[in-house]
Structure 1
């Protein structure tokens, strides 16, 4: 299989590439390196530098002939999307449409979208399944929903097929230690915890400890990045088998609280990891957990690497490997 990953030098893209390379598939990586790292690109992969907003460059690479295109090249910081909506509309919406139309012009019929649980907004019931109402509470989530809607239309109007994978919270690193590049300016909980453990940040801010949860802190569904990567391989096989279009959640179906992550990180790192408990953030739900039953039924996918211990251990190893670079 020939697979082209847009945004393949990023955190998730790198792990997706590894899963395809492990099967001896041909992997191409297209990335502008704005957040991805050239050092993340495996030597066995073909590399194309470019931006998804560059129509000519996108079409040039797509014309090389690919069985499946995977789109992981979106900006993903929900908070930033509310402050810089133009940046997100140009890249996440216009850039995505460039990829879709480029695929159709180049005759690439199979497309996998890296989507997000952000399309759902605040949960009206748990666990959140694919039929849950879509009411994004940030512009980032809206951009993902917008692209999904366009994919649905293009699939009806053209000889074009897609799988949209709605990630919950991606976490962890390759268990074999093959990916050592850290994300630039991480905003997610686990990287922030690791930065406190590494001495880069003075403390962790925990937003609210009075929720109706097991320990008062917010609960989220964390899925190991290797599990996500395997989901892309299964989605590619699904499309290549001509099974049609699909929209599925990829989550562990188990919630982890902020306190559970903090306690586990303290145990594994041996560091005190100072935490300050502050007021809740507006709009943060107490609990958000996925149903991934459709992914299991349609793709045979389930989370197998997503225990809190595996997530924290694999992440800490990478931070330890980068310790000298991280020291102020």
Structure 2
């Protein structure tokens, strides 16, 4: 019996593969390598190059490898890009997920874990947002994910499949053992961008919006270490295997940091005073998104191990320095 991880050559999916392999699971990775890297896939996993929306390919993998659980990470994630090119996001996220769910239902998959986002909530105010809050995504990215959640719920009502949805807040950091990190050179993750600026790979970074209704005027986010995030997935998988009912859970720490606070932390950790230029807001960005994260702790017994902004930055910075040593590393345009 194997676990299928879509997008397993990417940032979060790659860390999920590490976690599952460390737990002794047999893992099959399906990735088209458009944004992922084959070198990022742990050697203990079997890799298949292909598209997560290729229903017949997924059905063949389910049959060949006796796959009973799917963890779906493949998709597009950049909010401003989704505003500029919504059809790309409805194709890569919603349509792909629809086809993957069809393969899961037809193939007799028992458990399906979906990588969702706090963007389904939209404008939340400065207080933590809980799973039963009104869903009002502000971007095509958020709507593409919410549509996928709805499809999964509907299919689970009609087929013997149980699912878990994890709504991520801001994922950051890198594997504490130095095995993997965020490797996309032009990624938009704030901590990665700031670390690249500290290393001189960017002439400057930008702070998008300084007039939000937040304590210092910059956007407020809940940053969760990627290793804590994938540990929650592992607990959720075990919960479903033990007969747990389908569920939707926030995945964050329940505390927010402003953009300025994050930039200051990166400067302190790295010892580099790089330029952070203030500019206009980006389309689709809410002022504050902080997790109400009680349910994931109580239901799964999830206890974060890396809830420390300095530590998150340290891990991210160490990975960026490692990437500089790779002979085949892509350059930042």
Which TM-score bucket, shorter chain as reference?
over 0.9
Answer yes or no: is the 8 Å Cα contact 1:9–1:31 preserved in 2.
yes
Aligned equivalents of 2:96, 2:136: Cα separation in 1: 22
Answer yes or no: is the 8 Å Cα contact 2:20–2:27 preserved in 1.
yes
C-alpha deviation, 1:243, in angstroms: 1.0
Q: Secondary structure at the match of 1:67?
A: strand
Answer yes or no: is the 8 Å Cα contact 1:199–1:327 preserved in 2.
no
The number of residues matched between the two structures is 328
Aligned equivalents of 2:273, 2:331: Cα separation in 1: 18
Give unmatched runs, 5+ long, in structure 2.
none
Distance 1:273 1:79, change over 3 A: same
Answer yes or no: is the 8 Å Cα contact 1:207–1:281 preserved in 2.
yes
Equivalent runs, 1:235-254 vs 2, <5 Å: 235-254=236-255
Residue equivalent to 1:119: 120
Residue equivalent to 1:201: 202
Aligned equivalents of 2:84, 2:284: Cα separation in 1: 16
1:294 has 2:295 as partner: yes
Aligned equivalents of 2:36, 2:281: Cα separation in 1: 32
Q: Secondary structure at the match of 1:272?
A: coil
Farther off after superposition, 315-324 or 156-165: 315-324
Answer yes or no: is the 8 Å Cα contact 2:185–2:330 preserved in 1.
no
Q: Secondary structure at the match of 1:81?
A: helix
C-alpha deviation, 1:121, in angstroms: 0.6
Aligned equivalents of 2:156, 2:270: Cα separation in 1: 48
Residue equivalent to 2:134: 133
Give unmatched runs, 5+ long, in structure 1.
none
Answer yes or no: is the 8 Å Cα contact 1:251–1:303 preserved in 2.
no
TM-score (norm: length of structure 2)? 0.94
C-alpha deviation, 1:87, in angstroms: 1.7
Residue equivalent to 2:62: 62
Residue equivalent to 1:152: 153
Residue equivalent to 1:174: 175
Residue equivalent to 2:266: 265
C-alpha deviation, 1:285, in angstroms: 3.4
Aligned equivalents of 1:83, 1:214: Cα separation in 2: 30
Q: Secondary structure at the match of 1:205?
A: strand
Distance 1:84 1:262, change over 3 A: same
Answer yes or no: is the 8 Å Cα contact 1:109–1:159 preserved in 2.
yes
Q: What RMSD in Å do the two structures reach over aligned CA positions?
A: 1.7
Aligned equivalents of 1:166, 1:131: Cα separation in 2: 12
Aligned equivalents of 1:216, 1:302: Cα separation in 2: 31
Residue equivalent to 1:12: 12
Distance 1:118 1:212, change over 3 A: closer
TM-score (norm: length of structure 1)? 0.95
Aligned equivalents of 1:326, 1:102: Cα separation in 2: 34
Distance 1:175 1:156, change over 3 A: same
Aligned equivalents of 1:208, 1:87: Cα separation in 2: 26
Residue equivalent to 1:188: 189
C-alpha deviation, 1:147, in angstroms: 0.8
Answer yes or no: is the 8 Å Cα contact 2:94–2:144 preserved in 1.
yes
Aligned equivalents of 2:91, 2:238: Cα separation in 1: 31
Answer yes or no: is the 8 Å Cα contact 1:238–1:299 preserved in 2.
yes
